[in-house]
Chains A and B, each alone.
Chain A
Amino acid sequence: MQVADLPMLPGPPQGQLKRRILETYLQNPFLDDDLSGLVLRLDANRFELLQALEELCQTRFLKEAGQRRYFLDLDFVAAAVPVAPVVDPDESDHLLTLSAEALVALQSPVEADIDPQELLESLPYGTVLWRADGSLAMANQQAVKWLATDAEDLDADAFAQITGFHPNLVMEGEETVHFSLKEPHAIEVSMHSCSVGDETAVLVVMRDSSLQEEIAQVQASLHEELFACLDEEMVAPLLSLEHFLESPDSEDLGRARAAVEQMKGFLEDFLLLKRPDIDQQ
């Protein structure tokens, strides 16, 4: 088994080192080196290697056994390896198709006779992949629709103009960037750096958040209504009460009582006051 067999490769930081680690483990899947052994084997900086190993363990490429020994996580490798035959890695366009295939493969097992592109289009997610130079490698229709642009124009700069976030952010060190947009469509966006063959690329996954946005707006209007009512129903009676308490006068007593009754009624309406009928139940 080789690293090329894996459809998903570990990305930055230290993507090269992670790939070298995986390569070593795939050459001998029985390898059980500890950290010191791997430092020697890979001629790597101890700290960087430890960091890379921890990330590979987190992403389940490797797993740690006792005494800081590391093994290849073969369950994950088996799950990640595509069932369909691997496309010739020399053809860059095919490589990009393979990456999309891998994306789908990670979410659900792909049968060999299903077109991955069709499957990708049917997903309820918008997916865009840019190469390191900012040119578009792949985008599904959902993404194009949500970004309200044409697929031909959707390079990294255009995305930055639409969203205010340039994909280079994740190329320059940030591993993942999440943000949400209200315009042109309510979406949540995640930008990840990833590897396509030997190239570094940026993968953007978008999720429809219009329902959440609608709920948030309803909540906001409810809050607004509540505060408006509070102002009307509570503030004026409280001021009357305050006035009465400062200078108790028998003339104002009736007004104060009425104010308390008004506040009580308002709170009962909003179910904020314990009601006797609920207590009895």
Chain B
Amino acid sequence: MVLDIRNISPAPAPGPTSVIPPTDLHNDLEALLWQASAGAAVERALAVKQLRQLVPAVQGLELLWQILDSEDDPRRLVAAQMLGFHRSWSASPSGVRRLLQYLHCERDTEVAAALVWCLRQRDEVGEFLTHQSPRLGREAALGLPLNSNTLGSLTRALLTECPPEIERILLDKLGNLHPSLVRQLVDQLHQCDLLISDQRLAPIFSRLPQVPLFEIFLEERNTWVWDPQQGVAQTAAAQNWHRLARSAEAALRQWPSLELLRYLFNRCGEDESFARHHAHLLQATLSGTGAEAGPELLDHLEQLTASASEDKVVRLAQLLVDLSTRLEGPAENKAAELLEDLKSRSADLKLKIYHLQQGLA
């Protein structure tokens, strides 16, 4: 005889939730929401703790939506915050649509801000960056994910007169922009219909990753070459591009990052024409280098010159001489030692580096 086990399912494990009938759960959730929104401070804290621990099922979520539906329910804020904490609804597009629907109709700023918080790290939050309520705009800026879908709204918000607090948050976020997105952002700035002032561009360019910025504006110089036959629109576009390039270059000169300097050192070592082409920029960036970056750059130069060809060493020695004039203390001594070490490699190098040190090269 064979036991037919096809329809046998394991008995549900007895647990606190399985013991309580669904209606009681519903009532419990309602009661907790009441306590969390209108109870005494202690009750409120304990209720919120339980609301954080309880993951609402479909019925629970429905209750939260219903509370949001009613205009004068005092539990609306807690319901919105709970929706933001337990975001299983956001897995379905209909859930997100529903939230957006509530958000567009919401009049209470506190609740609306909580609903925007529900959308954190979702692309949909971008549309609220320029919301008339600064509270919503701020929450949207805090929750904005940086990707190709949200760059448009970010650029628009930065170029329009957004409140300083939102501008600060967005500019801070720009510092973490993935290098691959810099080109897209630059394109959006270029295609923007608004007349962008240099004052607005400078903080944007000062935060962006500098290596891609350098590549776009200073390395690829064939973009927007002047053509005498071009029309008005092309002329305007070219003018706009040159303005962007000027502003980007100014930002790179003024606030060069360690990453950019390393990139420039690498390229200068490898490519003589690059070194000649960007000699002025290099000097400007080196003059803007702080004392704290000096030792790191020195280590980098030491690595680059190890087992390098004589030509490469001469090019890098030029940078080293420039850098050593801005160093102090142990770093200065180390630079001098490194130069002496390079000199000792050959008589030719010794002479060339000596000329560099004397400013004769």
Contacts and interface: CB of A to CB of B under 8 A. Distances in A.
Interface of A: 1, 5, 28-30, 32, 37, 39-41, 43, 71, 74-75, 77-78, 81, 83
A1 B85 CA distance: 18
Q: Which 6 A-B pairs have the closest CB atoms?
A: A74-B49, A78-B45, A30-B85, A81-B41, A30-B81, A29-B48
19 contacts: A1-B45, A5-B41, A28-B81, A29-B45, A29-B81, A30-B51, A30-B82, A30-B85, A39-B172, A40-B169, A40-B172, A40-B173, A43-B165, A74-B48, A74-B49, A75-B49, A78-B46, A81-B41, A81-B45
Given A1-B41, A30-B52, A43 B81 contact: no
Contacts, number: 47
A280 B49 CA distance: 64
B117 interface: yes
Contact of A1 (B44, B52, B114): B44
Contacts of B44: 1
A71 B51 CA distance: 13
A204 B81 CA distance: 41
Contacts of A5: 41
Interface string B73-116: 00000000110110000000000000000000000000000100
Nearest to B172: A40
Given A28-B114, A29-B81, A30-B52, A77 B45 contact: yes
A75 B46 CA distance: 7
Interface of B: 40-42, 44-46, 48-49, 51-52, 81-82, 84-85, 114, 117, 142, 165, 168-169, 172-173
A248 B85 CA distance: 92
Given A1-B45, A30-B85, 6 more contacts: A5-B41, A28-B117, A29-B52, A30-B48, A32-B85, A78-B45
Contacts of A78: 41-42, 45-46, 49
Given A29-B81, A30-B52, A41-B142, A74 B45 contact: yes
B312 to A, nearest CB: 38
Contacts of A81: 41-42, 45
A22 B207 CA distance: 30
A37 B84 CA distance: 15
Most buried by A among B45, B168, B172: B45
A71 B48 CA distance: 12
B84 A74 contact: no
